[in-house]
A and B are shown apart, each in its own frame.
Chain A
Amino acid sequence: MINGMIVDKSYQAVTGRKGEIINRAMGVDYSKYERDGIVFDYEALMNDTGYTLEDHIRIQRRYNVGNTPIFELHNLTALARKCAAPGKGARIFVKDEASNPAGSFKERRAAASVYHAKKMGYKGVIAATSGNYGAAVASQAAMQGLKCIIVQECYDSKASGQPEIIEKARKCEALGAEVLQLSVGPELFYEVLMMLEETGYFNASLYSAFGVGGVETLGWELGHQFMERYGRHPDVVVCANAGGGNLTGTARGLKKAGCEARVVAASVDLTGLSMASDEQFNRKSFTTAHTGFGVPYATDPDHSDVPRSAARPLRYMDRYVTIKQGEVFYITEALATLEGMEKGPAGNTSLAAAFSLAQEMDRDQIIVAQETEYTGAGKHIQPQLVFARANGIEMLFGDPQTEVPGVNIVFPAAPSLLKARDAGLDRMRASLIRRQATRATGPITAADVRYLAEETNSGEAYVREVLKKLGY
Chain B
Amino acid sequence: MAKKNDWVRIHRNVLEPEQRTGKLPEDTRKVPLEMWVKGRLQNDSAEIGDEVTITTCVGRAEHGTLIEVNPCYELNYGTFVPEILTMEEQLRAALFGGDEA
Give A residues with C-beta under 8 Å from B: 10-11, 75, 78-79, 82-83, 124, 147-149, 154-155, 157, 159, 163, 166-167, 169-170, 173, 176-187, 190-191, 198-199, 274, 276-279, 329-330, 333-334, 336-338, 376-378, 380-387, 389, 395, 397, 411, 414-416
Residues of B with C-beta under 8 A to A179: 37-38
Q: Which 7 A-B pairs have the closest CB atoms?
A: A386-B78, A383-B78, A82-B101, A378-B75, A157-B31, A377-B75, A183-B34
Q: Quick check: is B42 within 8 A (CB to CB) of the other chain?
A: no
The number of residues on chain B lying at the interface, defined by a beta carbon within 8 Å of a beta carbon of chain A, is: 45
A411 to B86, CA, bound (A): 10
Q: Quick check: is B1 within 8 A (CB to CB) of the other chain?
A: no
Residues of B with C-beta under 8 A to A182: 14, 33-36
Extra 8 A-B pairs, beta carbons < 8 Å, given A149-B56, A177-B57: A75-B95, A166-B73, A190-B15, A337-B91, A377-B76, A377-B77, A380-B78, A381-B84
B19-71 interface with A by 8 A CB criterion: 19-21, 23-25, 27-28, 30-39, 56-60
Provide a sorted-by-A list of 9 A–B residue pairs whose CB atoms are within 8 angstroms.
Answer: A11-B15, A82-B94, A183-B34, A191-B33, A276-B28, A384-B78, A411-B87, A414-B90, A415-B91
Nearest CB of chain B from residue A39's CB, rounded to whole Å? 27
Q: Are B78 and A385 in contact (CB under 8 A)?
A: yes
Give B residues with C-beta under 8 Å from A: 14-15, 19-21, 23-25, 27-28, 30-39, 56-60, 73, 75-79, 81, 83-84, 86-88, 90-92, 94-95, 99-101
Q: Are A183 and B83 in contact (CB under 8 A)?
A: no
Q: Are A278 and B36 in contact (CB under 8 A)?
A: no
A6 to B88, CA, bound (A): 61
A406 to B14, CA, bound (A): 28
Nearest CB of chain B from residue A316's CB, rounded to whole Å? 29
Residues of B with C-beta under 8 A to A82: 94-95, 99, 101
Residues of A with C-beta under 8 A to B78: 163, 380, 382-387
> Closest residue to A76 on the B side, CB-wise?
B95
> Closest residue to A376 on the B side, CB-wise?
B75
> Closest residue to B82 on the A side, CB-wise?
A395
Q: Are A414 and B77 in contact (CB under 8 A)?
A: no
A469 to B82, CA, bound (A): 52
